[in-house]
Amino acid sequence: MTVERISVIGAGLMGHGIAQVCAQAGYQVVMRDLSEELVNKGLERIRKFLSDGVHKGKVSQADADSTLGRILATTSLEEAARDTDLIIEAIVEDMEQKKQLFRELDRLCAPHVIFASNTSYLSITEMAAVTGRPDRFIGMHWFNPPQLMRLIEIPRGQDTSEETVATIVELAKRLGKVPAVCSDSPGFIVNRLLQPFYNEAMSLLEEGVASAQDIDTALKAGGGFRMGPLELRDFVGLDTALRGTEVIYNALRHDKFKPRQCLIRLVKAGHYGRKTGRGFYTYGQE
């Protein structure tokens, strides 16, 4: 099957970036969020990203204009479900809300439409089971920011068909991304591998082996990392980081995934990292 039209549900941090990448690659895109304010905020972020690109000489004004021209922003789920080949869901990381959305979309969309979820940690198989199309249901896990990160993990659910996998792998390549197919397992590839690494950095901190700054500096200067593990957790948000750690730990029950106390304490105190001004580091007013 060939994908020609794409609908992105959710215009937040990930959704607006995904919509932009798809439109920049020439696809007609519908981007849906719950209110005018939220879809406009998503559109505004896309406009800013493109105009920064124009100023830096990375995108031509004509390409920026045609990209924006291919994005229809809406609050109507019916509009997003109409005339589309692929739904990419990027709403909040909550199983019940995602299931509710997919139930409605299953009713509204034509039978050939593929459903893809951008979930980081939730089960693709469980979401697929509430629809009548588990063979046309798949994960499409983009990385933040979608405009810049090359990888898309493609977790396949229990009943995802080979044709659906092939269609989404092909699409990822057309979008200029690098696909990595995996099974529907907690944390997929990247988050599963990184979780013990983040935990060990927190253990070093708890044991007083090194300061947060020295841990991060060591990994950047000696390990080739662009960001150290603790600053990366602050960047993602410690509340989000803890939720992800808990999902993997609860599913796999191995100590290497168990959330560390320093992370739990910071989250309890409301110190979520960059977004609250304090986490493993303290940030000035931004």
Closest CB to ligand NAD among 39 and 204?
A: 39
From candidates 13, 72, 108, 194, binder to ligand NAD by CB under 6 A:
13
Q: Is 191 a catalytic residue?
A: yes
* Range in contact with ligand NAD (rule: CB under 6 A) among 43-51, 91-99, 246-254, 260-268: 91-99
Write the burial class of residue 286 (CB in 10 Å: 0-12 exposed, 13-18 middle, 19+ buried).
exposed
Closest CB to ligand NAD among 32 and 204?
A: 32
Closest CA to 201 of 186, 220, 182: 220
Residue with the CB atom nearest ligand NAD in the bound state: 12
Write the burial class of residue 254 (CB in 10 Å: 0-12 exposed, 13-18 middle, 19+ buried).
exposed
Is residue 90 a contact point for ligand NAD (CB under 6 A)? Answer: yes
Q: Is 206 a catalytic residue?
A: no
Closest CB to ligand NAD among 11 and 154?
A: 11
d(CA 219, CA 206): 17
Question: Phi/psi at 6 (nearest 5 deg)?
Answer: -125, 135
From candidates 21, 91, 109, 171, binder to ligand NAD by CB under 6 A:
91
Closest CB to ligand NAD among 9 and 59?
A: 9
Q: Is 36 a catalytic residue?
A: no
58 to 28, 64, 94, 96: CA distances (angstroms):
22, 10, 36, 40
**CB count in 10 Å sphere of residue 216:** 22
Q: Of these residues, 16, 118, 141, 271, which one is catalytic?
A: 141
**How many helices, marked H, and strands, marked E, lie in the chain?**
12, 9
Is residue 239 a contact point for ligand NAD (CB under 6 A)? Answer: no
Strand ranges, E, within 20-103: 28-32, 71-74, 86-89
Is residue 33 a contact point for ligand NAD (CB under 6 A)? Answer: yes
Residues in contact with ligand NAD, shown as a per-residue x/- string from 95 to 134 under the rule CB under 6 A: --x---x----------------xxx--------------
Q: Is 153 a catalytic residue?
A: yes
Q: Which residue has the tokens 């696909």?
A: 179
Taking the complex as a whole, the smallest distance from the CB of residue 41 to ligand NAD amounts, in Å, to 8
Secondary structure (3-state) at 236: helix
d(CA 97, CA 243): 16
Which residues here bind ligand NAD, judged by CB under 6 A? 9-15, 32-34, 38, 90-93, 97, 101, 118-120, 142-144, 236
